[in-house]
Amino acid sequence: MNEDGTERLAKVLAARGIASRREAERLIAEGHVRVAGQVVSHPGHPVKPDDPSIRVDDKQLPAAPKLVYYVLYKPKGYIVTRADPNARHSVMELMPELPERVEPVGRLDINTEGALLLTNDGDLAHLLTHPSTGVPKRYLAKVYRTPSERTISRMEHGLPLDDGKTAPAKVRLISATDQENAWVEITVTEGRNRLIRRMFAHVGHPVSKLVRQSFGTVSIRGLERGHFRALSADEVSRLREIAGGTPAASAGRRPAKKKEGFAKADPKWLERRLAGKKKRALKKG
């Protein structure tokens, strides 16, 4: 929000559940939105969030919906958009009849499965996907042949891909199979397109299966493919801490309060000690 209490028009439309921010920008550019009776064509046009003169196709904005947060175990073969010109399946088909319109937080490619967050909290989603936040995303990858310790070390320190060197990652070998494959756990803090697959391809270990186990501090533990659940209040609180700059490993933890002053001695113990000193002094005397 700006200092004068205004926000970008596209952001206000998204917050009211009209569309995603990108779709809202398209509606504005195509002349579907009026403010105070005038067509506005710029998505950044400043408006008050509660301005009753904002209308989309001559309809007043609905009331702001309550903020909701979900995690979906995305199966392979589903795209992370609402519609597709090629008629591929959308993750939205797996979350029907929700009372609020939600949007995915980030992306997972069609051949990758696992943890996908969905929410109507645009501010939180923006922060969690911003490169500067560095939210950790943990994956389990099935790769061809077993990577050596040297290869794992190279991946951890960064690889020179065509769009720049990768940030440091955490990589560990989980197990090797009888079919010349291996399961490797890798945690990255970037959101580049097909990053994990490109990293393993670069070092000669192409990926045949990829599952995102967790996003930040939210995991798919206990979920079946294609199922989703609402996040708990604690999970949402931790995500907000991470979005605010708290390392994921520290999110949700409260520092222990330091005790001030000295501990008080037990009165009976102190009485016995003084009696003992007095007895020893009498013996010396």
Residue 96: count of CB within 10 angstroms of its CB:
6
Extended strands (E) in the chain: 7-8, 33-35, 38-39, 46-47, 54-56, 59-60, 69-74, 103-104, 113-119, 137-144, 160-161, 164-165, 170-176, 181-188, 207-215, 218-219, 228-230
Distance CA 151, CA 134 (A): 23
CB contact set of 76 (below 8 Å; sequence gap of 6+): 110, 111, 112, 113
**Residue 176 φ then ψ, to 5°:** -115, 150
Strand 69-74 and strand 228-230: the pairing is antiparallel
Distance CA 52, CA 36 (A): 9
Residue 51 is among the residues annotated as catalytic for this protein: no
Coil, helix or strand at residue 202: helix
Distance CA 80, CA 225 (A): 15
Catalytic residue among 58, 109, 123, 162: 109
Distance CA 178, CA 131 (A): 39
Return the active site residues: 109
